[in-house]
Amino acid sequence: MTESSPLVLVGWDFRRTPIAVRERLAFTPDRIGEALARITRQGVLSESVIVSTCNRSEIYGVGVAADVEDAVTEFVAGFHQLEKPAIVASRYGLSGADAVRHLFRVSAGLESLVLGEDQILVQVREALRIASAAGATRSVLHRLFQQACASGKRVRTETGVGTRATSIPGVAMELARKVYEDIDKRSFLIVGAGATAAIFYDLLIGRGARSIDVVNRSFERAEALASRGGTARRWEELSARLPQADVVVFATASPTPILGAAQVAAALSARRGKPMLFLDLGVPRNVEAAVSNLDGAFLYAVDDLKEIAARNLADREKDVPRAESILEEEIADFLSWYGSLAVVPTLASLRRRFETVRAREFDDALAKLDRVAPEDREKIRLLAQSMVRTLLRRPTSALKDEPDPARRVERAEAIRHVFGLDEEE
């Protein structure tokens, strides 16, 4: 990393921080802009991005304060009205290449509670969008987060880390897609309106399902869930709606089975041989085990789905080394760009460029002058060198005397771009 712009990360996550503390450290979307403005105004960071999810709250930045990790911690405690000692113990801080590597691993899903989860990449991308809209990012963090997101996408494209579901609703969705490839043309019946049902419902909507009935004992909760694209049905309609469904998903907290083999047999008879897929996500079971003995009925309960999820997780873990190799390539690329923006390397490159031009023009000019005495040649050479030093004085002071590390990086990047310092001569 460069001495001109210390990249830092201060965070709290599910591995080190109890959920009771994480909940109090979470930054809601409507307050992130305020937090970013305040941390800049207080002189803690000159660039900043906040990644806040249910499993982590992380602040990335370009440091300004002397003890930036402690300063960020103090800011977070004050913002959330917490005592600083209460959050220091579970805090982690990284800087330079370590902070870069952590963000890239987060974006790729390698630091997630569920290995390879897709949602975190969306959340990192949204964190950058919010920070950019708030004017909190400049050259360094904008490029860092853009490349981290691109790397996360590459890992999911080139490896199996992000494929093969490992959550129960996700595995259930994969099974439904294997049985019925044309999800958008199939009818679904969801029984229940709690968290698990809502997750499966969202997966269905994401896959383009158009016919979704939701049955729940509380019709109001069924309406709330179905408002995103389905139809709420009253509990009394369950038996009547059953024959209409290709896929039936149960996700209730009922202590006893809700659906019996006799009801399913009647539904299959009404369907005239068309099969039905039953996904029982309830614990304890919502569907009688005897249903699996009926011709045309395919039943998967939570234990079945857990076995599939475990196999999928093992398959994901096999691809972790490949994912890490991809990330190291991407990290090296970012660090190479970042390192080129340091004051000393930039000024050295600029000086070499000017000296190359001076030498070339000096030689070309003297080649056209046949009667220049040796002492005059030396005077012309010294004059050309003096001009180079004069021309370098302004960009040198603009870089060395700039107190804001983020602005110093921006100026270095501008100089390298304007003078083509990264191009081959």
* Residue 298 domain-assigned (yes or no): yes
* Residue 2 domain-assigned (yes or no): no
pLDDT tens for residues 26-82? 999 999 999 999 999 999 999 999 999 988 999 999 987 778 999 999 999 999 999
Q: What are phi and psi of 218, to 5 degrees?
A: -95, 110
Both 332 and 355 in one domain: the answer is: no
Both 329 and 379 in one domain: the answer is: no
CA distance 242 to 304: 23
Instruction: Outline where DSSP puts E strands in 252-395.
Output: 276-280, 297-300
CA distance 248 to 312: 23
More confident residue, 166 or 223: 223
Both 65 and 109 in one domain: the answer is: yes
Sign of CA dihedral 81, 51, 331, 132: negative
Residue 254 has pLDDT above 80, yes or no: yes
* Residue 72 domain-assigned (yes or no): yes
> What's residue 2's pLDDT?
42
CA distance 130 to 119: 16
Segment among 143-152, 165-174, 289-298, 318-327 with least mean pLDDT: 165-174
CA distance 249 to 330: 42
- Which pairing describes strands 56-63 and 231-233: parallel, antiparallel, or unpaired? unpaired
> What's residue 348's pLDDT?
83
CA distance 201 to 280: 14
Number of domains observed in the structure of the chain: 3
Both 157 and 11 in one domain: the answer is: yes
Both 55 and 172 in one domain: the answer is: no
Residue 177 has pLDDT above 60, yes or no: yes
* CATH number of the domain enclosing 191: 3.40.50.720
* Residue 270 domain-assigned (yes or no): yes
Supply the DSSP symbol for 31: H
* Residue 185 domain-assigned (yes or no): yes
CA distance 104 to 144: 9
CA 192 to chain centre: 31
Both 138 and 172 in one domain: the answer is: no
* pTM for the model: 0.67
* Residue 313 domain-assigned (yes or no): no
> What's residue 4's pLDDT?
42
Both 265 and 324 in one domain: the answer is: no
CA 132 to chain centre: 15
Nearest to 166 by CA among 366, 307, 337, 264: 307
Question: What mean pLDDT is predicted for residues 325-344?
Answer: 86
Q: How many CA atoms lie within 13 A of 41 on its CB side?
A: 7
- Which residue out of 54, 262, 348, 369 is catalytically annotated? 54
Q: Which domain holds residue 361?
A: 343-418
> What's residue 285's pLDDT?
95
- Which pairing describes strands 211-215 and 92-95: parallel, antiparallel, or unpaired? unpaired
CA angle at residue 164 from 162 to 170, to 5 degrees?
A: 100
Both 12 and 135 in one domain: the answer is: yes
Question: What mean pLDDT is predicted for residues 282-300?
Answer: 95
Instruction: Outline where DSSP puts E strands in 356-404.
Output: none
Q: What are phi and psi of 256, to 5 degrees?
A: -130, 160
Asked if 54 is an active-site residue, the reply is yes
Q: How many CB atoms lie within 10 A of CB 313?
A: 15
Residue 355 has pLDDT above 70, yes or no: yes
* CATH number of the domain enclosing 127: 3.30.460.30
The residue assigned the tokens 């080394």 is 321
> What's residue 137's pLDDT?
95
Both 283 and 400 in one domain: the answer is: no
> What's residue 406's pLDDT?
63
Segment among 25-34, 240-249, 284-293, 382-391 with least mean pLDDT: 382-391
Both 135 and 35 in one domain: the answer is: yes
* Residue 423 domain-assigned (yes or no): no
Burial category of 380 from C-beta neighbours within 10 Å (exposed 0-12, middle 13-18, buried 19 and up): middle
Question: What mean pLDDT is predicted for residues 205-209?
Answer: 91
Both 18 and 138 in one domain: the answer is: yes
Both 100 and 224 in one domain: the answer is: no
pLDDT tens for residues 98-134? 999 999 999 999 998 878 888 899 999 999 999 999 9
Percentage, residues of the chain above pLDDT 70: 97
Mean pLDDT of the chain: 90
* Residue 100 domain-assigned (yes or no): yes
Supply the DSSP symbol for 214: E
Per-residue confidence band for 145, with pLDDT thresholds at 50, 70 and 90: very high
Residue 333 has pLDDT above 50, yes or no: yes
Tokens read off for 275: 């099969």
More confident residue, 201 or 364: 201
56 neighbors 109 (Cβ within 8 angstroms): no
CA distance 347 to 2: 13
Per-residue confidence band for 405, with pLDDT thresholds at 50, 70 and 90: low
CA distance 303 to 83: 44
pLDDT tens for residues 369-402? 777 788 887 888 888 888 888 998 988 888 888 7
